[in-house]
Structure 1
Amino acid sequence: MSSCPRGLGKDVVPPSFRRWLCDTDFIILALKAVILVTALYLMYAESAVVVRDDVINHRPIIGILSQEQSKYFHTKYPENYTSYIAASYVKSVEASGARVVPIMIGRDRDYYRELMSKINGVLFPGGATYFNQSDGFADAGEHIYHIAMGLNDAGSYFPVFGTCLGFELLIILASGRGKVENREKCYSFKNCRLNFTKDFRRSKMYRDAPEYVVDILSSDDVTANAHQFCILDSNMEKYNLKNDWLITSHSKDEDGLAFVASVEHKRYPFYGVQFHPEKVAFEWKASKHYPHSLKAVQANRYFMDFFVEECRRSGHRFPSHSEENRHLIYNYKPEFTGLLGSSYEQCYFFEPRGTV
């Protein structure tokens, strides 16, 4: 039996309780309990992205990653630009209350790190490029992906959203990019409904989605699909991605193959959809049969509204208005590519070859 600390005399507590409280074994046990609780708290803090509650940015700026110019565009534009962004992505971001900065491909890591310190999120768009081209869309995306993880780990909230090709890139990067790409052949060029998973409401993306939006997405064929590859549940299982990513919905391709339609990371504010929310309101090629009903527009509008709201949680800013202005998409003029038969109504083109 150890001696009691001062102040615990018989005139303060009953003798039996005093003996129990002063027992050395009890004190050691109590100290161990404190250490355990502290360790558990630190483990939780280590696994969670820290978010400052006081950060509400009502002037968010989102970077959209450009990608290699396709062979089709090479035949139409003699300037031989190195990269482009479909204007529908820009319009979609702007319609949700944010501005856009184009992110160039073919730059070193310092370029992406510096730019990401001044913007509030990144959108990986869909498209038709490959992931094995040096200094292209995938290489830039890989830099951005890892820098974004580092920012979030350091407590600087930084969301990333991938659409179609951009969503596939997110999953391939999470798998560990290699010669064998973790995606499958999948043919879907139609409008689909979403088959939500039973726990989809646990996700940040759908937790607060209005019931009418969920009803439209699950009952009507309003998501525009245009892809020859997709992510299956087996792709997620092959690389143990279900430990880190939450699958929230599936759709089916023309052959009845069920593919992952939407996901989000469990730790980082990273989100992906296989379909194209931006096409419903802003792409009009008649042969594509994109859904343009009021319900379709309303339901698809939700996704970029959600992402921009996530980006409002980022406190990054350009150091001056003049530098901000130099980076904005307004410095570029969109071309009417629909006039030339493109599936995109308009595109922004960047950097004729030889200028970088």
Structure 2
Amino acid sequence: MWWLNVSSDNWIGFVTMKSVLLLLVIHLLHCEGRVVVRRDEQLNNRPIIGVLSQEQSKSLQKKYPKENYTSYIAASYVKDVEASGARVVPILIGKDRKYYRELMQKINGVLFPGGATYFNQSNGYADAGQHIYEIAKQMNDRGDYFPIFGTCLGFELMIIIASGRGEVENRIECDVFENLPLRFDHGYKNSKMFSAAPQDVLTILSTQDVTVNYHMFCIIDQNLKNFSLDRDWLVTSHSTSTGGSKFIASIEHKRYPFYGVQFHPEKTFEWKQSKNYPHTVESIKANRYFMDFFVNECRKSDHTFNNVVEENKYLIYNYVPHFTGVLGSAYHQCYMFEPRGITNSCL
């Protein structure tokens, strides 16, 4: 036999090498299994996402003179989150930093919704957003995974905050009110947002007019270059309006789990006929992907409330949505919140 001709020294070395390789394989298999189990154990299958409210429009506030509601959340954002398997806690504006810090220790992520409000109003949407953004960075720096997703106005706010929120806002006027496809950038498949996206979803997004654009401002590549933000943020897609305006459509931070889109995935839950929001099977499937992705990001956070009683006090179920579509609002339904003494005339 061949092994009879092997010297004792070589034989010992051969056996030793086999033993080492065998132990290495066993270790790798054990570690791989342990990682999978640990990852499953860490996933939070009861995620709760905070949705930031914003200043109420003066026109809609007049519809509720007795209540004097001055902040709101469009119900379509709540439905979007719930459809992806999470619950919602409304985040009020006009609070101090302690309020946002304590609440963020109990929830698993924050959604900055779109809408229409100014960024230079004290104690409003932008100030609250800045508190949340800065606290979230601190959390992630400590290894406490905490995602943020910005839609339209919320996406613009994140970039403006990252720019330093100067007197001149780092965005441009860009009136776009139409449904558009995405033009994916080179390397988008390596991004966190799109690396696991199904091919049929990517095909719909890139070939059909399924992303709802409804914005007076937008972020372009030059806005990122103005403050060297292109070093920290990865642009994954652009869109171009029929008028020729090219703008960033989706983006993500290279270090933090912060994501933004200029369009409105939640509009599949809005039904105003004059807005022409897409409700085809393909558009619903494609737009669902974004909140599904974000909720799965929030599952990586293990924050919880102290108990069910405390949790129930904060949930959106404590509020009743109003049928605001019949009152002239662009939103089919809205949740209204306590008076904050701040209004705007944008809606």
TM-score range, shorter chain: 0.7 to 0.9
Quick check: 1:305 aligned with 2:292? yes
Give the ranges of 4+ consecutive aligned residues of structure 1 lying more than 4 Å apart after TM superposition. Answer: 51-54
Give matches, 1:120-269, under 5 Å: 120-269=108-257
Please say if residues 186 and 253 of structure 1, whose CA atoms lie closer than 8 Å, have aligned partners that are also in contact.
Answer: no
Deviation at 1:191, TM superposition (A): 0.1
Name the CA distance, whole Å, in 2 between partners of 1:52 and 1:146. 27
Give matches, 1:7-22, under 5 Å: none
Instruction: Number of aligned residue pairs: give it.
Output: 303
Q: Secondary structure at the match of 2:116?
A: coil
Quick check: 1:350 aligned with 2:337? yes
Give matches, 1:268-283, under 5 Å: 268-280=256-268, 282-283=269-270
Name the CA distance, whole Å, in 2 between partners of 1:279 and 1:244. 29
Gaps of 5+ in 1: 1-50
Gaps of 5+ in 2: 1-37, 342-347
Name the CA distance, whole Å, in 1 between partners of 2:155 and 2:340. 28
Name the CA distance, whole Å, in 2 between partners of 1:351 and 1:187. 32
Please say if residues 261 and 274 of structure 1, whose CA atoms lie closer than 8 Å, have aligned partners that are also in contact.
Answer: yes
TM-score (normalised: structure 2): 0.86
Deviation at 1:143, TM superposition (A): 0.2
Comparing both chains, which one has the higher relative contact order based on Cα–Cα distances under 8 Å and sequence gaps of 6 or more?
A: 2
Give the aligned partner of residue 71 of structure 1.
Answer: 58
- Residue deviations 1:210-234 (CA, integer Å, cap 9, x gap): 0000000000000001000000011
Instruction: State the percentage of identical aligned residues.
Output: 68
Q: CA RMSD in A?
A: 1.2
- Residue deviations 1:39-64 (CA, integer Å, cap 9, x gap): xxxxxxxxxxxx97842100000000
- Residue deviations 1:281-333 (CA, integer Å, cap 9, x gap): x1010010001100000000000000000000000000110000000000000
Question: Which of 101, 105, 110 in structure 2 is aligned with 1:117?
Answer: 105
Please say if residues 175 and 239 of structure 1, whose CA atoms lie closer than 8 Å, have aligned partners that are also in contact.
Answer: yes
Name the CA distance, whole Å, in 1 between partners of 2:325 and 2:109. 29
Quick check: 1:55 aligned with 2:66? no
Q: Secondary structure at the match of 1:225?
A: strand
Q: Secondary structure at the match of 1:81?
A: coil
TM-score (normalised: structure 1): 0.84
Distance 1:154-1:52 versus aligned 2 partners, 3 A rule: farther
Please say if residues 93 and 340 of structure 2, whose CA atoms lie closer than 8 Å, have aligned partners that are also in contact.
Answer: no
Name the CA distance, whole Å, in 2 between partners of 1:142 and 1:316. 21
